[in-house]
Chain A
Amino acid sequence: MAKIVASVNVSHVPAIGAAWDNKKTDTPYWEPVFKGFDFSKKWIADLKPDVILLAYNDHASAFSLEIIPTFALGCAAEFQPADEGWGPRPVPVVKGHPVLAAHIAQSVILDEFDLTLVNKMDVDHGLTVPLTLMFGQPQEWPCKIIPLHCNVIQYPPPTGNRCYNLGKALKKAVESFPEDLRVVVFGTGGMSHQLQGARAGLINKEWDTRFLDNLVKDPEANTRIPFIEYVREAGSEGIELVMWMISRGALDRDVKEVYRFYHVPSSNTALGHLILENKR
Protein backbone atom coordinates (compact mmCIF):
# COMPACT_ATOMS: atom_id res chain seq x y z
CA MET A 1 0.00 0.00 0.00
CA ALA A 2 1.05 3.62 -0.47
CA LYS A 3 2.25 5.35 2.65
CA ILE A 4 2.80 8.95 3.69
CA VAL A 5 6.17 9.02 5.42
CA ALA A 6 6.97 12.70 5.99
CA SER A 7 6.14 16.32 5.31
CA VAL A 8 8.37 19.08 4.05
CA ASN A 9 7.25 22.63 4.74
CA VAL A 10 9.06 25.47 3.06
CA SER A 11 8.65 29.07 1.87
CA HIS A 12 8.55 29.58 -1.89
CA VAL A 13 9.99 33.09 -2.33
CA PRO A 14 10.46 33.83 -6.07
CA ALA A 15 13.76 35.66 -5.45
CA ILE A 16 15.23 32.33 -4.25
CA GLY A 17 14.49 30.83 -7.67
CA ALA A 18 16.02 33.88 -9.35
CA ALA A 19 19.13 33.67 -7.13
CA TRP A 20 19.55 29.99 -8.04
CA ASP A 21 18.89 30.48 -11.77
CA ASN A 22 21.33 33.43 -11.92
CA LYS A 23 24.00 31.50 -9.94
CA LYS A 24 24.03 33.89 -6.99
CA THR A 25 23.79 31.18 -4.35
CA ASP A 26 27.20 31.93 -2.81
CA THR A 27 26.75 35.69 -2.35
CA PRO A 28 26.76 36.88 1.30
CA TYR A 29 23.01 37.55 1.06
CA TRP A 30 21.95 34.14 -0.31
CA GLU A 31 24.64 31.82 1.01
CA PRO A 32 23.04 31.36 4.48
CA VAL A 33 19.66 30.68 2.82
CA PHE A 34 20.93 27.85 0.62
CA LYS A 35 23.16 26.48 3.38
CA GLY A 36 20.01 26.05 5.46
CA PHE A 37 18.98 23.31 3.01
CA ASP A 38 22.18 21.23 3.02
CA PHE A 39 20.70 18.84 5.57
CA SER A 40 17.36 18.68 3.73
CA LYS A 41 18.94 17.80 0.38
CA LYS A 42 20.75 14.87 1.97
CA TRP A 43 17.69 13.82 3.95
CA ILE A 44 15.43 13.63 0.89
CA ALA A 45 18.12 11.95 -1.24
CA ASP A 46 18.33 9.21 1.41
CA LEU A 47 14.55 8.94 1.75
CA LYS A 48 13.98 8.55 -2.03
CA PRO A 49 10.24 9.29 -2.14
CA ASP A 50 8.29 7.89 -5.09
CA VAL A 51 5.74 10.70 -5.12
CA ILE A 52 5.51 14.21 -3.73
CA LEU A 53 2.05 15.63 -3.14
CA LEU A 54 2.80 19.34 -3.20
CA ALA A 55 0.40 21.95 -1.76
CA TYR A 56 1.19 25.39 -3.15
CA ASN A 57 -0.55 28.39 -4.57
CA ASP A 58 -0.49 29.63 -8.12
CA HIS A 59 0.36 33.36 -8.29
CA ALA A 60 -1.73 34.63 -11.20
CA SER A 61 0.11 32.29 -13.58
CA ALA A 62 -2.21 29.35 -14.42
CA PHE A 63 -5.29 30.95 -12.86
CA SER A 64 -6.24 34.55 -13.61
CA LEU A 65 -9.41 36.08 -12.18
CA GLU A 66 -11.51 34.21 -14.76
CA ILE A 67 -11.73 31.11 -12.58
CA ILE A 68 -10.73 30.97 -8.91
CA PRO A 69 -10.71 27.42 -7.58
CA THR A 70 -10.19 27.05 -3.83
CA PHE A 71 -8.48 23.65 -4.14
CA ALA A 72 -7.30 22.32 -7.51
CA LEU A 73 -5.63 18.94 -7.97
CA GLY A 74 -3.24 18.47 -10.90
CA CYS A 75 -4.20 15.19 -12.60
CA ALA A 76 -2.04 15.50 -15.74
CA ALA A 77 1.01 13.46 -16.74
CA GLU A 78 3.12 16.61 -17.11
CA PHE A 79 3.15 20.21 -15.98
CA GLN A 80 5.28 22.83 -17.72
CA PRO A 81 7.14 25.57 -15.81
CA ALA A 82 5.10 28.79 -16.23
CA ASP A 83 6.26 31.98 -17.92
CA GLU A 84 5.54 34.43 -15.12
CA GLY A 85 6.41 37.48 -17.20
CA TRP A 86 10.19 37.03 -17.37
CA GLY A 87 10.35 33.67 -19.20
CA PRO A 88 9.90 30.19 -17.66
CA ARG A 89 12.43 29.08 -15.00
CA PRO A 90 15.08 26.75 -16.48
CA VAL A 91 13.90 23.76 -14.44
CA PRO A 92 12.79 20.27 -15.49
CA VAL A 93 9.22 19.57 -16.56
CA VAL A 94 7.17 18.32 -13.60
CA LYS A 95 5.99 14.72 -14.13
CA GLY A 96 2.72 13.94 -12.40
CA HIS A 97 1.18 10.66 -11.27
CA PRO A 98 -2.21 10.62 -13.05
CA VAL A 99 -3.30 7.25 -11.62
CA LEU A 100 -2.67 8.22 -8.00
CA ALA A 101 -4.14 11.70 -8.64
CA ALA A 102 -7.35 10.15 -10.02
CA HIS A 103 -7.52 7.85 -6.99
CA ILE A 104 -7.08 10.85 -4.67
CA ALA A 105 -9.81 12.76 -6.53
CA GLN A 106 -12.23 9.84 -6.17
CA SER A 107 -11.53 9.38 -2.48
CA VAL A 108 -11.34 13.02 -1.41
CA ILE A 109 -14.47 14.15 -3.27
CA LEU A 110 -16.49 11.32 -1.74
CA ASP A 111 -15.01 12.49 1.56
CA GLU A 112 -16.89 15.77 0.88
CA PHE A 113 -13.99 17.96 -0.30
CA ASP A 114 -15.09 19.45 -3.60
CA LEU A 115 -11.79 19.56 -5.47
CA THR A 116 -11.40 21.18 -8.86
CA LEU A 117 -9.60 18.74 -11.15
CA VAL A 118 -7.08 20.23 -13.57
CA ASN A 119 -5.65 18.44 -16.59
CA LYS A 120 -3.71 21.37 -17.99
CA MET A 121 -1.81 23.70 -15.69
CA ASP A 122 1.56 25.43 -15.89
CA VAL A 123 3.31 25.54 -12.52
CA ASP A 124 4.99 28.69 -11.22
CA HIS A 125 7.60 29.52 -8.56
CA GLY A 126 5.18 28.43 -5.82
CA LEU A 127 5.82 24.83 -6.87
CA THR A 128 9.29 24.97 -8.44
CA VAL A 129 11.21 26.97 -5.80
CA PRO A 130 10.64 24.31 -3.09
CA LEU A 131 11.87 21.64 -5.54
CA THR A 132 15.01 23.67 -6.28
CA LEU A 133 15.71 24.07 -2.56
CA MET A 134 15.30 20.34 -1.91
CA PHE A 135 16.87 18.88 -5.07
CA GLY A 136 19.09 21.56 -6.61
CA GLN A 137 19.10 21.37 -10.39
CA PRO A 138 18.92 17.79 -11.67
CA GLN A 139 18.23 16.92 -15.31
CA GLU A 140 14.90 15.53 -14.17
CA TRP A 141 13.11 15.79 -10.84
CA PRO A 142 13.83 12.51 -9.04
CA CYS A 143 10.19 11.57 -8.40
CA LYS A 144 6.62 12.10 -9.52
CA ILE A 145 4.94 15.27 -8.27
CA ILE A 146 1.21 15.85 -7.86
CA PRO A 147 0.43 19.59 -7.61
CA LEU A 148 -2.36 20.72 -5.28
CA HIS A 149 -3.16 24.38 -5.75
CA CYS A 150 -4.82 26.26 -2.92
CA ASN A 151 -6.24 29.75 -3.43
CA VAL A 152 -4.69 32.25 -1.03
CA ILE A 153 -4.69 35.24 -3.42
CA GLN A 154 -8.34 36.27 -3.34
CA TYR A 155 -9.72 36.38 0.18
CA PRO A 156 -11.00 34.53 1.93
CA PRO A 157 -8.74 31.55 1.44
CA PRO A 158 -9.84 28.25 3.01
CA THR A 159 -9.41 28.27 6.80
CA GLY A 160 -6.49 26.53 8.48
CA ASN A 161 -9.00 24.10 9.93
CA ARG A 162 -10.39 23.25 6.49
CA CYS A 163 -6.86 22.74 5.19
CA TYR A 164 -5.99 20.48 8.12
CA ASN A 165 -9.06 18.35 7.46
CA LEU A 166 -8.26 18.21 3.76
CA GLY A 167 -4.85 16.89 4.78
CA LYS A 168 -6.57 14.11 6.72
CA ALA A 169 -8.69 13.24 3.69
CA LEU A 170 -5.56 13.16 1.52
CA LYS A 171 -3.90 10.78 3.98
CA LYS A 172 -6.90 8.45 3.83
CA ALA A 173 -6.85 8.63 0.03
CA VAL A 174 -3.13 7.99 -0.40
CA GLU A 175 -3.05 5.20 2.16
CA SER A 176 -5.84 3.32 0.39
CA PHE A 177 -3.88 3.23 -2.88
CA PRO A 178 -2.84 -0.38 -3.57
CA GLU A 179 0.63 0.26 -5.01
CA ASP A 180 3.63 0.38 -2.65
CA LEU A 181 4.63 4.02 -2.84
CA ARG A 182 6.54 6.25 -0.46
CA VAL A 183 4.79 9.62 -0.45
CA VAL A 184 6.01 12.92 1.00
CA VAL A 185 3.58 15.83 1.36
CA PHE A 186 4.87 19.38 0.87
CA GLY A 187 3.27 22.47 2.40
CA THR A 188 4.69 25.65 0.91
CA GLY A 189 4.56 29.43 1.22
CA GLY A 190 4.85 31.73 4.24
CA MET A 191 6.15 32.52 6.71
CA SER A 192 5.28 36.06 7.86
CA HIS A 193 5.45 38.58 5.04
CA GLN A 194 3.50 41.42 3.52
CA LEU A 195 4.18 42.62 -0.01
CA GLN A 196 1.68 45.46 -0.30
CA GLY A 197 0.66 48.77 1.22
CA ALA A 198 2.23 50.93 3.91
CA ARG A 199 2.79 47.91 6.18
CA ALA A 200 4.91 46.01 3.61
CA GLY A 201 7.99 44.34 5.07
CA LEU A 202 6.20 43.05 8.16
CA ILE A 203 7.96 40.14 9.90
CA ASN A 204 6.68 38.46 13.07
CA LYS A 205 9.24 35.94 14.30
CA GLU A 206 7.47 35.29 17.59
CA TRP A 207 4.20 34.39 15.86
CA ASP A 208 6.02 32.28 13.25
CA THR A 209 7.84 30.36 15.99
CA ARG A 210 4.62 29.64 17.85
CA PHE A 211 3.00 28.47 14.60
CA LEU A 212 5.93 26.07 14.00
CA ASP A 213 5.93 24.77 17.59
CA ASN A 214 2.20 24.10 17.41
CA LEU A 215 2.50 22.54 13.98
CA VAL A 216 4.78 19.91 15.51
CA LYS A 217 3.09 19.21 18.85
CA ASP A 218 -0.38 20.73 18.90
CA PRO A 219 -1.71 21.18 15.36
CA GLU A 220 -5.26 21.56 16.71
CA ALA A 221 -4.15 24.85 18.28
CA ASN A 222 -3.29 26.11 14.79
CA THR A 223 -6.70 25.02 13.46
CA ARG A 224 -8.24 27.61 15.79
CA ILE A 225 -6.30 30.53 14.26
CA PRO A 226 -8.91 32.68 12.50
CA PHE A 227 -8.28 34.06 9.03
CA ILE A 228 -7.93 37.62 10.32
CA GLU A 229 -5.19 36.62 12.77
CA TYR A 230 -3.03 35.28 9.96
CA VAL A 231 -3.43 38.59 8.11
CA ARG A 232 -2.87 40.79 11.16
CA GLU A 233 0.03 38.85 12.70
CA ALA A 234 1.76 37.22 9.71
CA GLY A 235 0.90 39.79 7.01
CA SER A 236 -1.42 39.82 4.02
CA GLU A 237 0.76 37.27 2.20
CA GLY A 238 1.64 35.30 5.35
CA ILE A 239 -1.83 33.80 4.96
CA GLU A 240 -0.08 31.24 2.70
CA LEU A 241 0.70 29.38 5.92
CA VAL A 242 -2.70 27.70 5.80
CA MET A 243 -1.09 25.37 3.26
CA TRP A 244 1.25 24.07 5.96
CA MET A 245 -1.91 22.82 7.66
CA ILE A 246 -2.68 20.63 4.63
CA SER A 247 0.66 18.84 4.91
CA ARG A 248 0.30 18.56 8.69
CA GLY A 249 -3.17 17.01 8.42
CA ALA A 250 -1.75 14.38 6.08
CA LEU A 251 0.61 13.12 8.81
CA ASP A 252 -0.14 11.16 11.98
CA ARG A 253 -1.08 13.04 15.15
CA ASP A 254 2.32 12.29 16.72
CA VAL A 255 5.31 13.13 14.60
CA LYS A 256 9.03 13.55 14.91
CA GLU A 257 10.59 16.93 14.16
CA VAL A 258 13.56 16.14 11.97
CA TYR A 259 14.78 19.60 10.96
CA ARG A 260 13.91 23.26 11.32
CA PHE A 261 15.39 26.35 9.69
CA TYR A 262 14.28 29.99 9.96
CA HIS A 263 15.96 32.94 8.30
CA VAL A 264 15.17 36.64 7.85
CA PRO A 265 15.21 38.15 5.29
CA SER A 266 14.67 36.37 2.04
CA SER A 267 13.73 39.37 -0.10
CA ASN A 268 10.54 40.54 1.70
CA THR A 269 9.92 37.34 3.61
CA ALA A 270 10.72 35.32 6.71
CA LEU A 271 11.88 32.01 5.26
CA GLY A 272 10.70 29.01 7.24
CA HIS A 273 11.43 25.33 6.76
CA LEU A 274 10.29 22.35 8.79
CA ILE A 275 10.63 18.61 8.12
CA LEU A 276 8.38 16.21 10.02
CA GLU A 277 8.33 12.40 9.90
CA ASN A 278 5.69 9.90 10.88
CA LYS A 279 6.98 7.70 13.70
CA ARG A 280 5.72 4.38 12.33
Chain B
Amino acid sequence: MTETKDPARIEPTVGFDDVPGTTLFDAQRSRQGYHVNMFCMSLMKAANREEFKKDEAAYLKKWPMTEEQRDAILERNWGRMIELGGNIYFLSKLFSTDGLSFQFVAATMTGLTQEQYAEMMLKGGRPIEGNRSKSEWQKRG
Protein backbone atom coordinates (compact mmCIF):
# COMPACT_ATOMS: atom_id res chain seq x y z
CA MET B 1 0.00 0.00 0.00
CA THR B 2 1.44 3.40 -0.94
CA GLU B 3 0.66 6.31 1.31
CA THR B 4 -0.48 9.51 -0.34
CA LYS B 5 1.50 12.54 0.73
CA ASP B 6 -0.37 14.52 3.32
CA PRO B 7 0.44 18.24 3.37
CA ALA B 8 -0.84 18.72 6.90
CA ARG B 9 1.53 16.15 8.39
CA ILE B 10 4.83 17.95 8.74
CA GLU B 11 5.93 16.64 12.11
CA PRO B 12 3.88 13.60 12.97
CA THR B 13 3.55 12.90 16.66
CA VAL B 14 4.67 9.40 17.56
CA GLY B 15 1.88 6.93 16.93
CA PHE B 16 -0.41 9.59 15.52
CA ASP B 17 -0.34 8.35 11.97
CA ASP B 18 -0.63 4.67 12.82
CA VAL B 19 -4.33 4.66 13.78
CA PRO B 20 -6.15 3.20 10.76
CA GLY B 21 -9.08 4.90 9.05
CA THR B 22 -8.74 7.95 11.26
CA THR B 23 -7.83 11.54 10.46
CA LEU B 24 -6.56 13.37 13.50
CA PHE B 25 -7.80 16.93 13.71
CA ASP B 26 -4.81 18.72 15.19
CA ALA B 27 -3.59 22.31 14.93
CA GLN B 28 -1.91 21.64 11.55
CA ARG B 29 -5.03 20.18 10.03
CA SER B 30 -7.21 22.80 11.67
CA ARG B 31 -5.22 25.45 9.77
CA GLN B 32 -5.58 23.46 6.55
CA GLY B 33 -9.35 23.18 7.00
CA TYR B 34 -10.00 26.58 8.56
CA HIS B 35 -12.17 27.93 5.75
CA VAL B 36 -14.01 24.63 5.22
CA ASN B 37 -15.01 24.59 8.86
CA MET B 38 -15.84 28.28 9.05
CA PHE B 39 -18.05 27.90 5.95
CA CYS B 40 -19.87 25.07 7.79
CA MET B 41 -20.21 27.28 10.86
CA SER B 42 -21.95 29.94 8.73
CA LEU B 43 -24.76 27.41 8.08
CA MET B 44 -25.93 27.78 11.67
CA LYS B 45 -27.93 30.79 10.46
CA ALA B 46 -31.17 30.07 8.58
CA ALA B 47 -30.65 32.92 6.10
CA ASN B 48 -27.21 31.57 5.17
CA ARG B 49 -28.60 28.06 4.70
CA GLU B 50 -31.12 29.45 2.21
CA GLU B 51 -28.51 31.40 0.33
CA PHE B 52 -26.23 28.34 0.16
CA LYS B 53 -29.02 26.10 -1.14
CA LYS B 54 -29.88 28.61 -3.87
CA ASP B 55 -26.40 28.57 -5.41
CA GLU B 56 -23.86 26.41 -3.62
CA ALA B 57 -20.87 27.22 -5.83
CA ALA B 58 -21.45 30.96 -5.59
CA TYR B 59 -21.84 30.80 -1.82
CA LEU B 60 -18.61 28.82 -1.45
CA LYS B 61 -16.65 31.50 -3.31
CA LYS B 62 -16.89 33.65 -0.16
CA TRP B 63 -14.33 31.40 1.53
CA PRO B 64 -10.76 31.23 0.20
CA MET B 65 -10.60 27.43 0.01
CA THR B 66 -8.63 25.25 -2.35
CA GLU B 67 -10.30 23.91 -5.46
CA GLU B 68 -10.06 20.41 -3.97
CA GLN B 69 -11.86 21.47 -0.81
CA ARG B 70 -14.62 23.19 -2.78
CA ASP B 71 -15.12 20.13 -4.99
CA ALA B 72 -15.29 17.80 -2.00
CA ILE B 73 -18.04 19.98 -0.49
CA LEU B 74 -20.03 20.22 -3.73
CA GLU B 75 -19.74 16.44 -4.23
CA ARG B 76 -20.55 15.80 -0.54
CA ASN B 77 -17.50 13.60 -0.34
CA TRP B 78 -17.44 13.47 3.49
CA GLY B 79 -14.30 11.35 3.78
CA ARG B 80 -12.39 13.71 1.48
CA MET B 81 -13.61 16.77 3.39
CA ILE B 82 -12.18 15.24 6.56
CA GLU B 83 -8.86 14.44 4.86
CA LEU B 84 -8.66 18.06 3.71
CA GLY B 85 -9.11 19.50 7.20
CA GLY B 86 -12.86 19.34 7.79
CA ASN B 87 -13.93 18.30 11.27
CA ILE B 88 -16.98 16.10 11.79
CA TYR B 89 -18.65 18.49 14.26
CA PHE B 90 -18.31 21.39 11.84
CA LEU B 91 -19.38 19.20 8.91
CA SER B 92 -22.49 18.32 10.93
CA LYS B 93 -23.80 21.83 10.15
CA LEU B 94 -23.56 20.98 6.43
CA PHE B 95 -25.17 17.55 6.66
CA SER B 96 -27.90 18.92 8.93
CA THR B 97 -28.60 21.51 6.22
CA ASP B 98 -28.92 18.52 3.85
CA GLY B 99 -31.24 16.77 6.32
CA LEU B 100 -28.77 13.92 6.93
CA SER B 101 -27.83 12.29 10.24
CA PHE B 102 -24.49 11.53 11.91
CA GLN B 103 -25.20 7.86 11.35
CA PHE B 104 -25.82 8.30 7.60
CA VAL B 105 -22.59 10.25 7.14
CA ALA B 106 -20.56 7.86 9.30
CA ALA B 107 -21.93 4.96 7.23
CA THR B 108 -20.92 6.55 3.89
CA MET B 109 -17.38 7.10 5.17
CA THR B 110 -17.04 3.40 5.96
CA GLY B 111 -18.41 2.28 2.58
CA LEU B 112 -21.49 0.68 4.15
CA THR B 113 -25.12 1.51 3.54
CA GLN B 114 -26.86 3.12 6.50
CA GLU B 115 -28.79 -0.11 7.07
CA GLN B 116 -25.62 -2.21 7.12
CA TYR B 117 -23.93 0.29 9.42
CA ALA B 118 -26.91 0.44 11.80
CA GLU B 119 -26.94 -3.36 11.88
CA MET B 120 -23.22 -3.40 12.76
CA MET B 121 -23.90 -0.98 15.63
CA LEU B 122 -26.80 -3.10 16.92
CA LYS B 123 -24.44 -6.07 17.00
CA GLY B 124 -22.03 -4.20 19.27
CA GLY B 125 -20.22 -1.93 16.81
CA ARG B 126 -16.95 -2.29 14.91
CA PRO B 127 -14.69 -4.50 17.02
CA ILE B 128 -11.35 -3.19 18.22
CA GLU B 129 -9.61 -6.46 17.32
CA GLY B 130 -7.97 -5.96 13.93
CA ASN B 131 -8.65 -2.21 13.98
CA ARG B 132 -5.89 -0.90 16.23
CA SER B 133 -3.14 -0.13 13.75
CA LYS B 134 -2.43 0.31 10.09
CA SER B 135 -0.28 -2.81 10.04
CA GLU B 136 -3.34 -4.86 11.03
CA TRP B 137 -5.27 -3.37 8.12
CA GLN B 138 -2.37 -4.08 5.74
CA LYS B 139 -2.24 -7.72 6.82
CA ARG B 140 -5.94 -7.96 6.14
CA GLY B 141 -5.28 -6.56 2.67
Contacts and interface: CB of A to CB of B under 8 A. Distances in A.
Interface of A: 14-15, 59-61, 64-66, 68, 83-86, 153-156, 192, 194-207, 228, 231-233, 236-237, 264-265, 267-268, 270
25 contacts: A59-B89, A64-B38, A86-B96, A153-B25, A155-B26, A195-B102, A196-B82, A196-B88, A197-B23, A197-B82, A198-B20, A198-B79, A198-B111, A199-B19, A199-B126, A199-B131, A200-B117, A201-B120, A203-B127, A228-B16, A228-B19, A232-B15, A232-B132, A265-B121, A265-B124
A215 to B, nearest CB: 19
Contacts of B57: none
Interface of B: 13-16, 18-27, 30, 34, 37-38, 40-41, 43-44, 79, 82, 87-90, 92-93, 96-97, 101-103, 106-107, 109-111, 117, 120-122, 124-128, 131-133
Contacts of B38: 64-66
Contact of A154 (B26, B40, B124, B128): B26
A199 B129 CA distance: 12
Nearest to B105: A195
A233 B120 contact: no
B88 A202 contact: no
B110 A65 contact: no
A60 B41 contact: yes
Please classify the interface of chain A as helix (H, G, I), strand (E, B), loop, or mixed, using the class held by over half of its residues.
Answer: loop
Contacts of B106: 195-196, 200-201, 268
A203 B27 CA distance: 26
Contact of A15 (B14, B79, B102): B102
Given A60-B37, A231-B19, A265 B79 contact: no
A199 B37 contact: no
A265 B14 CA distance: 31
Contact of A156 (B26, B87, B103, B110): B26
A196 B27 contact: no
Contacts of A60: 37, 40-41, 87, 89-90, 92-93
B121 to A, nearest CB: 4
B109 A200 contact: yes
Contacts of B15: 228, 232
Given A60-B41, A201-B120, A232-B132, A194 B102 contact: no
B86 to A, nearest CB: 9
Nearest to A201: B126
B102 A14 contact: yes
